[in-house]
Chains A and B, each alone.
Chain A
Amino acid sequence: DQQVKQNSPSLSVQEGRISILNCDYTNSMFDYFLWYKKYPAEGPTFLISISSIKDKNEDGRFTVFLNKSAKHLSLHIVPSQPGDSAVYFCAASNQGGSEKLVFGKGTKLTVNP
Chain B
Amino acid sequence: NAGVTQTPKFRVLKTGQSMTLLCAQDMNHEYMYWYRQDPGMGLRLIHYSVGEGTTAKGEVPDGYNVSRLKKQNFLLGLESAAPSQTSVYFCAIHSLREAEETQYFGPGTRLLVL
Contact = CB atoms under 8 A, between A and B. Distances in A.
| Max chain A C-beta neighbours (<10 A), residue from B50, B90, B101 | B101
B89 to A, nearest CB: 10
B107 A42 contact: yes
Contact of A101 (B96, B100, B103, B106): B103
Interface residues of A, number: 23
Interface residues of B, number: 24
Given A9-B40, A103-B44, A43 B105 contact: yes
A92 to B, nearest CB: 12
A28 B81 CA distance: 37
A105 interface: yes
Interface string A30-72: 0010101000011111100100000000000000000000000
Contacts of B20: none
A46 B104 contact: yes
B101 A97 contact: yes
Interface string B72-113: 000000000000000000101010100011111111100000
Contacts of B106: 43
A89 interface: yes
Interface of A: 6, 9, 32, 34, 36, 41-46, 49, 89, 91, 97-101, 103-106
Interface of B: 1, 4, 31, 40-45, 48, 50, 90, 92, 94, 96, 100-108
